[in-house]
Amino acid sequence: MAGKTLYDKLWDSHVVHEDADGTCLIYIDRHLVHEVTSPQAFEGLRLAGRKPWRADTLVANPDHNTPTKDWEKGIEDPISRLQVETLDSNIKETGALVYFPFKHANQGIIHVIGPENGTTLPGMTVVCGDSHTSTHGAFGALAHGIGTSEVEHVMATQTLIAKKSKRLLVRVDGELGVGVTAKDVALAVIGKIGTAGGNGFAIEFGGEVIRALSMEGRMTICNMAIEAGARAGIIAPDAKTAEYLKGRQYAPKAADWDKAVAYWNTLATDADAVFDSVVELKGAEIAPQVTWGTSPEQVLPINGRVPDPAQEQDATKRTSIENALKYMGLTANTPIEDIKLDKIFIGSCTNSRIEDLRAAAVVAKGKKVASSIQLAMVVPGSGQVKRMAEAEGLDKIFTEAGFEWREPGCSMCLAMNADRLSPGERCASTSNRNFEGRQGQGGRTHLVSPAMAVAAAIAGHFVDVRSV
Partner 1 sequence: MKAFTQLNGLACPIDRANIDTDAIIPKQFLKSIKRSGFGPYLFDEWRYKDHGEPGMDCTNRPLNSDFVLNQPRYKGAQIMLARENFGCGSSREHAPWAIEDYGFRVIIAPSYADIFFNNCYKNGMLPIVASHAVVDKLFKECEATAGYSLNVDLTSQTVTLPSGETFTFDIHPTSKHNLLNGLDEIGLTLLHADKIKAFEGKHKAAQPWLFA
- Rounded to whole angstroms, the Cα distance separating 85 from 103 reads 12
Contact flag: residue 47 with partner 1 (CB under 8 A):
yes
121: contact with partner 1 by CB under 8 A: yes
Q: At its nearest, how many Å lie between partner 1 and the CB of residue 14?
A: 8
Position among 37, 120, 158, 432 found at the interface with ligand SF4 (CB under 6 A):
432
The Cα 165–Cα 62 span in angstroms is: 31
- Which one of partner 1, ligand SF4, none interacts with residue 399, CB within 5 to 8 A by kind? none
Residue 340 touches which member of partner 1, ligand SF4, none, C-beta under 5-8 Å by kind: none
Q: Sketch the per residue contact string, 70 through 89, with partner 1: x for CB under 8 A, - otherwise.
A: ---------x--xx--x---
- Smaller CB separation from ligand SF4, 275 or 345: 345
Contact 97, 57 (CB under 8 A): yes
Exposure letters 68-100 (e unless 16+ CB within 10 A, then b): bbeeeeebeeeebbebbebbeebbeebebbbbb
Whole-number minimum distance, CB 158 to ligand SF4, in Å? 23
Strand (E) or helix (H) holding 233? strand 232-234
Are 80 and 416 spatial neighbours (Cβ–Cβ below 8 Å)?
yes
Q: How far apart are CA 300 and CA 192, in angstroms?
A: 10
User: Helix, strand or coil for residue 107?
Assistant: coil
Distance CA 203, CA 218 (A): 13
Minimum Å distance from CB 31 to partner 1? Answer: 12
Near partner 1 by CB under 8 A: residue from 17, 104, 340, 368: 17
Q: Report, in Å, the least distance between residue 44 CB and partner 1.
A: 6
> How many CB atoms neighbour CB 16 within 10 A?
13
Number of residues interacting with ligand SF4: please give it, by CB under 6 A. Answer: 13
Q: Which does 278 bind (CB under 5 to 8 A by kind): ligand SF4, partner 1, none?
A: none
Q: What are phi and psi of 90, to 5 degrees?
A: -65, -45
| Pick 158 or 291: Cβ nearer partner 1 | 158
Q: Indicate which of ligand SF4, partner 1, none lies near residue 68 (CB less than 5 to 8 Å, by partner kind).
A: none
Contact 27, 13 (CB under 8 A): no
Of ligand SF4, partner 1, none, which one does residue 109 interact with (CB within 5 to 8 Å by kind)? ligand SF4
Near ligand SF4 in 34-93, by CB under 6 A = 63-64
> What span, in angstroms and rounded, lies between the C-alpha atoms of 327 and 311?
19
Which of partner 1, ligand SF4, none sits in contact with 47, Cβ below 5 to 8 A by type? partner 1
Q: What minimum distance in Å lies between the beta carbon of 16 and partner 1?
A: 4
The nearer residue to ligand SF4, 181 or 269, going by C-beta atoms, is: 181
Residue choice 14, 30, 31, 132 for contact with ligand SF4 (CB under 6 A): 132
Which amino acid belongs to residue 60? A
CB atoms within 10 A of CB 326: 10
Interface with ligand SF4 (CB under 6 A), residue from 119, 159, 348, 417 = 348
Identify the CA nearest to 456 among candidates 339, 352, 365. 339
Residue 199: helix, strand or coil by DSSP?
coil
Shortest Cβ 373–ligand SF4 spacing (Å): 22
Q: Is residue 327 near partner 1 by the rule CB under 8 A?
A: no
> What x-and-dash track marks residues 128-157 binding partner 1 by CB under 8 A?
--------------------xx--xx--xx
Taking CB under 8 A as the criterion, the residue among 88, 173, 214, 263 binding partner 1 is 263
40 binds, among partner 1, ligand SF4, none (CB under 5 to 8 A by kind): partner 1
CB atoms within 10 A of CB 150: 18
- In DSSP terms, 18 is beta-bridged to 24
Which listed option, ligand SF4, partner 1, none, makes contact with residue 256 (CB within 5 to 8 Å by class)?
partner 1
DSSP per residue over 108-162, as a string?
Answer: B-HHHHHHHTT-S-TT-EEEESSGGGGGGGGGT-EEEE--HHHHHHHHHHSEEEE
DSSP 8-state code for residue 71? G
Which residues within the stretch 88-107 sit at the binding site for partner 1 (CB under 8 A)? 97
Following DSSP, what letter does each residue of 336-376 receive, concatenated? GGG-B-SEEEE-TTTS-SHHHHHHHHHHHTT----TT-SEE
Q: What are the residues binding partner 1 (CB under 8 A)?
A: 16-17, 25, 27, 29, 39-40, 43-44, 47-48, 50, 53, 56, 79, 82-83, 86, 97, 121, 123-124, 148-149, 152-153, 156-159, 161, 250-252, 256-257, 259-260, 263
Q: What are the residues binding ligand SF4 (CB under 6 A)?
A: 63-64, 109, 111, 130, 132, 348-349, 410, 413-414, 431-432
